[in-house]
Amino acid sequence: MITLTLLHPLKQIPIQVWTFPDESKIRIGRSTDNQVVLYSAVVSRHHVELHRVGNQWEVVNLGTNGTYIDGRRITQEPVTDGVIIRLARSGPNIQIRIGDAVLEELQDTVSALRSLPTRSDLPLITTEITQQAPEEDDVE
């Protein structure tokens, strides 16, 4: 399984996630015939491909504006779990996760959320507020 996560350009938080359980080739670009379609002027129609080679993945640049890992322009590079690729110098960032690690993290998060108390589990707290009416002499 491979999971691609489009990251927010400033906050580096997930915007969109794509999971591919069985594919051996994934293409990213502007064209609608890609598995991942990104609408950005700096992204080529077919910008980058990810290939499974045995148990490993590699990223191959196809775009004229380049693909970058850690600020370094690449042509073909093995993928390590958690790597972030940038499409073009100022383009979108995509984090690549390999294997079931992402699924396990999501399951852990869901389990943690399910263990939180729900509104019906919380004790009902009632507070009585009393306020004395002003005296007639105090009213103007």
Which numeric CATH code is attached to 2-102?
2.60.200.20
Which is higher by pLDDT, 135 or 76? 76
pLDDT at 139 over 60: no
Least confident of 8-12, 56-60, 63-67: 8-12
Could you list the beta-strand ranges (E) of 65-131.
67-69, 72-74, 76-78, 84-87, 93-98
Tell me the pTM: 0.71
Q: What is d(CA 126, CA 128) in angstroms, rounded to the nearest whole number?
A: 7
- Mark residue 52 as left, alpha or beta (left: phi above 0; alpha: psi -120 to 50; beta: remaining): beta
pLDDT in tens, 14-58: 999 999 998 999 999 999 999 999 999 999 999 999 999 988 999
Q: Are 15 and 95 in contact (CB under 8 A)?
A: no
Q: Are 97 and 117 in contact (CB under 8 A)?
A: no
**Helix or strand holding residue 15 (H, E):** strand 14-20
What mean pLDDT is predicted for residues 64-71?
A: 96
> Which of the four pLDDT bands, split at 50, 70 and 90, describes residue 99?
confident
Q: What is the mean pLDDT of the chain?
A: 86
